[in-house]
Each structure stands twice: as C-alpha cells, then as structure tokens.
C-alpha cells in the first residue's frame, strides 16, 4: 500500500468499529451470565458446602463484570482490551470454575459455580489476540474444569460420565474462542479494505483535480490548436470517467461528449459545450441511438453549414411530457427557415431518425443569429417496452 | 482617465494564476494573488478589490469559504467569480447560493474570460449554460422536497431553460419578446431565489437537528 493511502485509510477507518461492537455485545452477555450465576448461587446457598466462598465468587465476578462494563464506556474504550483487565477476568473465571469442585455447587444444582460467566473472557481474548488466544483461554478453562472434577471426585461408576461432561464443555469453549477470533479477523480485514478503497478514491479525485486543472490550462494557453484540442479531448474523457459513472445519465452524457470531441477534432476553431441535467428520463435503446445520432448530425450541420464557433448541446427532462428534450444550438450564420429548403443532412439524418422512434424535431433560426435544433423524445416509460437504457454504456 | 478595475486572483496553482493574469490586461489591474482561502480573505480585507477570480478547490476552506465571508462583509461591493474545473459538483451551487457573483469554467478561452469578467464588473453575472442546467435541476428538487411548487415563476424557468440551451441574454429577450435588461433582472432574481431557498433549507435543517 502506498504510504499516503495507508495514512488516509487510517484516518478514515472507524477505528475498531468491529471490536467495539463485539465487546458491547459481550458486555451484555457478561451481565446476563453474572445475573444467572448470582441467582442460582443465592437460591441454593443453604445446600452448598461452603456458602461464604460461593458468595465471594458472586462478588468477585460482579466486580469484574462492572469493571469490564465501565472500561467500554466513553472514548477510551480500547482499555477494555488491555491485557491487565483481560488477565483479571481470566484469572477470576479460572478460580471460580476450579473452586466448584470444593464448594460442590455443581453436585447440588447440576451446574458449575461459574455457569456461563467464563464465556465472555474467551470472546474478549479472541477479539484481542485472535483465534489462538480465544482457543487458548478455552483450554485454560478446560484445565480448571478438570481440576474441579478431580477435587470433587466422581461418585462410583460415574467417572466416565463426568469426563464426558468436562470434555464436551471444553470442546465448545475452545471452538467458540477459535471461531470468534476468526470472524473478528475477517471483519477487520474487510473493514480495512473498505477504508483503503475509500482513501484511494479520495486521493484519485485530488490527483485528477490537478490533472483537470493542467489540461484546462493547456487548452487555454497552448499556441498550437492541435495541442489545445488534444487537451480538451483528454479533459472530457477524464471528466466522463470521474463524474458520469455515478450518475444515471452517464450513458447519454458520455455519448454526447464523444460526439462533441469528434466534431472539435474535425473542425478546428469550433468548441462544443455539453450539459446534461440529472433528471433526463430513461430512453429505449432505439431512442438512445436516435438521440445521439441526431445530435451528432446537428453538430456537423452547425460547423459545416452554419460556420459556428461555439455550439451548446443540452439535454433535460421535458417537463410537460416526461420525455427527453434535446437541443443543439450554434452561434453561426443562421438561415431563414421559411425560405431555405432543408438539406439532406437535416431531412434524413435528423428528422428521419427522430420521427422513426416517435420523436419530434423543430428548427429555429434567423439569418445572422445562429440556429437551434430542438428534439423531443417520448422516453422509455411512454412505451410498453421491456428494455430501457439509462446508465449503460454502448 | 478610463475606469480600471482591481482584481484579486485566488488559486492554489501558480500556473493557473499567471494564466489568468496574462488573460486579464486593461482595464483590469491585478492587485494581488492568493494561494489559499486564508491568503485570499486577507488580501480582500486589505485591498477591497472590485473583483475576485476564485478557484473552488483550495486549501483552508476553499472558494466556498472565500465567497461566504466576502459576501457577508462586502455584499455586492466585492464580486467573487468562481473559476473552476468541477462544473458538475454541488459545491458550485453552494458557492452561487452563498453569493458568488457568477462562475466560469477553467477551459474558457482567454478572450472570452476577459469579456465575461468585464460583464461581471458591469453588473451582469457570468452565467454559463452548465450552471443554468444545474439550477434547473436544483429548483426541481426544491419543488419536490418542500413546497410542492417551484419557487421560480414560469417566466424565470423559461429564462433559465434558454440560458441552459446556450442563448445569450439578447437572444433570450428576442425569444420571449422582452428587453435584454429584463432578462438580466430575471437572472438576478433567480440567483436571489436560490439564495433564499438555500437559507430556508438551512433553517429547516437546523430546526430538525435541534440547532437554534
């Protein structure tokens, strides 16, 4: 990764969003597990061998639960992952699990004194250190279970059953630790990738802004018309790439810009401005082809017959009809529409194409005052057609 | 002595600044150049130029901040014209809504730039078809979102539509059978309405978010 991307990605990454989310869930689980542990212990207190030790276990786990909860609050929540707090939680859980064999609560209630309370410690270890830590703490607690079972001693003939109970708890703890660590790692990776992609895009935009500036400068200042035109073409391409691919109108805007560049390439001294509003409607495939083809033809006419120096191509929603309004206006010599017979270009290429797909064409012009070709297309929604074309590029 | 107009150029690219300087010439006098928003605002405060040609993307708050603070202090006394490559960005509408006097794209040829800026100092906002197109969409969205009716009158919408299609003010007047001066007034009203709707939107947004 390039250093500037890395730096920007670091700033963008919602630092530890995944970790904090998991830890918040774990904190809730810890409270629930503690409430269960405390409830079971207090209800059965009179049947337990060492009630004072059991109460001490309830208090100790309660204090750790509170500490872990407090650590997660506020901006410095990363302290919830500090080895000290995690170590304390693991140690208390280990002691409570192991103590069960002596307190003999398990014998009375069928549940280890610690209950589910050790589980959050496994999850936190997995978040802090990955799958290996998670599984490792699971192993540690298994050892505690084994100690507890050994101290309690199984009733005659039930040693096998006790071993199976320890074994199945052990397996589930180790698996939970490993799986949680793996999931967090995967989430963290995808989060990093997103942040990196976003950072790259931002940097690309900044760089492109500089390139656009330089190209615009060359356009304005270059003494050679060829070089100026080349810069304009490149600027247009880059602009299409940067701005159009997010927009629904991308296909039409890109195609009209391509037509504009083609005209500028073959008619030095002519510049074309293309503006396409965000509200242009979806077009059927044949309408799209007719609109872009007719616009290209109108551009050629403006340069060839109109002697234009500047042409504006404009596309927008036609508000009354909901279709597309498309105009090509030049600043050329113009003509008197009443006296000039429409040329072959206008009659066939423009009127033919547009009317074939259900559109209309009008031409407005006056001698010395340029000309405008106005076209209206019904749009894809006006016709019962399954396929429409909007953002797709040809 | 013929009138001359003082200009401050604000752009973070020195080559762009020297390009603009070369295009300006009389009656413009470039009195200062700034490379970021801070420098530009300091120059504007000390020199009170007639015109500021200002890039949109600059360090320390960009052209948007220059426009906001300049119009807040000088109103129409200092006219800020945005000079930008990013004609499709919402920033541009924000700049115009905050009081930018007009806007020109960086690919505008030198003589055209000179002509448009001359119009600006004479009270005629440079208003390219691209901006008109953006505004058509913007007012449509305002209409859909809040009041249900377009803040623009039918006539103003016609004017905006014709400007977007590349009509000069003279041609707009001819098309609508009104005087060129009337067209200019319509354009000024459209900009004022943009300003108002933006402010109303801000107020509504602030109220929705509990800011008073």
Residues A63 and A37: beta-carbon distance below 8 Å: no
Q: Which of A64-73, A90-99, A192-201, B169-178 has the lowest mean pLDDT?
A: A192-201
> Binning pLDDT at 50, 70 and 90, where does residue A31 land?
very high
Establish whether domains B5-126 and B131-208 are of one fold.
Answer: no
Q: Rounded to whole angstroms, how far apart are CA atoms A317 and A52?
A: 81
Q: Rounded to whole angstroms, how far apart are CA atoms B96 and A84?
A: 57
Report the residue from B85, B132, B167 with minimal CB separation from A209: B85
Interface of chain B toward chain A, CB-CB under 8 angstroms: 13, 15-16, 19, 22-23, 57, 85-86, 88, 105-110, 113, 128-130, 132-134, 136-137, 140, 161, 164-167, 171, 174
What is the model's pLDDT at position A374? 92
> Binning pLDDT at 50, 70 and 90, where does residue A329 land?
very high
> How high is the ipTM of this complex?
0.78
Q: Rounded to whole angstroms, how far apart are CA atoms A129 and A123?
A: 10
Digit-coded pLDDT (tens) for B49-97? 888 998 888 888 788 888 888 888 887 788 888 887 765 566 777 778 7
Domains of chain A as residue ranges with CATH: 3-196 (no CATH), 249-382 (3.30.565.10)
Report the residue from A271, A314, A331 with minimal CB separation from B133: A314
Q: Tokens 């012009």: give the residue.
A: A365
Q: Tokens 């000309």: give the residue.
A: A371
Q: CB contact, 8 Å: A241 with chain B?
A: no
Q: By CA distance, what is A253's nearest residue in B?
A: B88
The answer to whether the predicted template modeling score (pTM) of the entire model surpasses 0.80 is: no
Alpha helix (H) residue ranges in B76-128: 90-97, 110-121
CB contact under 8 A, B107 and A235: yes
Cα dist. A310→A3, A71, A220, B128 in Å? 45, 67, 15, 13
In the structure encoding, which two tokens stand for residue B171, read together? 């041609």
Q: Where are the domains of chain B?
A: 5-126, 131-208
CB contact under 8 A, B13 and A271: no
Name, in order, each residue with C-beta under 8 angstroms of A193's C-beta and a sequence gap of 6 or more.
none
What is the CATH number assigned to the segment(s) B131-208? Answer: 1.10.10.10
Reply yes or no on whether the pLDDT at A184 is more than 90. Answer: no
Interface A-B, measured as beta-carbon pairs within 8 A, has a size of: 84
Digit-coded pLDDT (tens) for A99-153? 887 776 666 667 777 888 898 999 989 888 888 988 999 999 988 888 888 877 7
Assigned CATH topology for domain B5-126: Rossmann fold (3.40.50)
CB contact under 8 A, B137 and A278: yes
What residues of chain B lie within 8 A of the CB of A310, using their CB? 166
Digit-coded pLDDT (tens) for B107-126? 777 777 888 888 888 877 77
């Amino acid at each position: 990764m390039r250093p500037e991307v890395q730096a920007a990605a670091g700033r963008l990454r919602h630092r530890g969003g995944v970790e904090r989310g998991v830890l918040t869930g774990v904190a809730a689980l810890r409270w629930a597990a503690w409430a269960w542990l405390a409830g079971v212990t207090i209800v059965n207190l009179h049947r337990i061998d060492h009630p004072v030790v059991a109460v001490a276990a309830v208090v100790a786990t309660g204090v750790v639960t509170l500490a872990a909860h407090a650590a997660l609050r506020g901006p410095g929540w990363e302290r919830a992952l500090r080895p000290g707090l995690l170590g304390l939680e693991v140690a208390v859980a280990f002691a409570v699990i192991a103590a069960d064999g002596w307190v003999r609560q398990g014998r009375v209630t069928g549940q280890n004194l610690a209950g589910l309370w050790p589980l959050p410690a496994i999850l936190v270890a997995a978040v802090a250190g990955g799958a290996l830590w998670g599984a490792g703490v699971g192993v540690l607690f298994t050892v505690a279970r084994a100690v507890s079972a050994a101290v309690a001693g199984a009733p005659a003939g039930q040693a096998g059953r006790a071993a199976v109970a320890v074994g199945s708890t052990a397996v589930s703890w180790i698996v939970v630790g490993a799986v949680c660590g793996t999931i967090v790692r995967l989430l963290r990776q995808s989060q990093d990738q997103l942040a990196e992609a976003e950072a790259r895009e931002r940097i690309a935009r900044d760089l492109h802004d500089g390139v656009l500036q330089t190209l615009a400068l060359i356009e304005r200042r270059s003494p050679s018309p060829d070089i100026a035109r080349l810069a304009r073409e490149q600027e247009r391409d880059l602009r299409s790439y940067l701005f159009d691919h997010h927009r629904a109108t991308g296909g039409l805007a890109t195609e009209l810009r391509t037509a504009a560049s083609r005209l500028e390439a073959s008619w030095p001294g002519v510049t074309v401005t293309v503006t396409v509003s965000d509200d242009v409607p979806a077009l059927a495939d044949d309408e799209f082809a007719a609109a872009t083809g007719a616009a290209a033809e109108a551009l050629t006419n403006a340069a060839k017959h109109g002697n234009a120096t500047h042409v504006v191509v404009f596309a927008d929603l036609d508000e009354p009809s909901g279709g597309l309004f498309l105009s090509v206006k030049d600043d050329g010599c113009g003509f008197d529409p009443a006296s000039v017979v429409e040329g072959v270009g206008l009659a066939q290429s423009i009127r033919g194409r547009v009317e074939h797909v259900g559109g209309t064409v009008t031409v407005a012009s006056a001698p010395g005052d340029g000309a405008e070709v106005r076209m209206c297309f019904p749009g894809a929604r006006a016709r019962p057609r399954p396929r429409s074309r909007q953002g797709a590029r040809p | 002595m013929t009138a001359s107009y003082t200009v401050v150029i604000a752009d973070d690219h020195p080559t762009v600044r020297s390009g603009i300087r070369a295009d300006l010439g009389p009656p413009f006098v470039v009195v200062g150049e700034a490379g970021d928003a801070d420098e530009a605002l300091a120059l504007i405060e000390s020199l009170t130029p007639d015109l500021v040609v200002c890039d949109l993307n600059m360090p320390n708050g960009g052209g948007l901040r220059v426009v906001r603070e300049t119009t807040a202090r000088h109103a129409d006394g200092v006219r800020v014209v945005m000079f930008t490559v990013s004609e499709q960005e919402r920033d541009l509408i924000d700049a115009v809504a905050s009081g930018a006097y007009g806007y020109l794209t960086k690919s505008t040829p030198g003589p055209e730039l000179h002509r448009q800026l001359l119009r600006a100092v004479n009270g005629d906002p440079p208003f390219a078809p691209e901006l008109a197109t953006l505004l058509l969409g913007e007012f449509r969205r305002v209409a859909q979102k809040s009041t249900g009716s377009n803040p623009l009158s039918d006539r103003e919408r016609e004017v905006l539509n014709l400007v977007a299609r590349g009509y000069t003010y003279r041609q707009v007047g001819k098309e609508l059978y009104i005087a060129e001066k009337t067209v200019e007034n319509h354009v000024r009203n459209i900009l004022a309405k943009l300003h108002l709707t933006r402010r109303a939107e801000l107020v509504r947004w602030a109220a929705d978010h509990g800011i008073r």
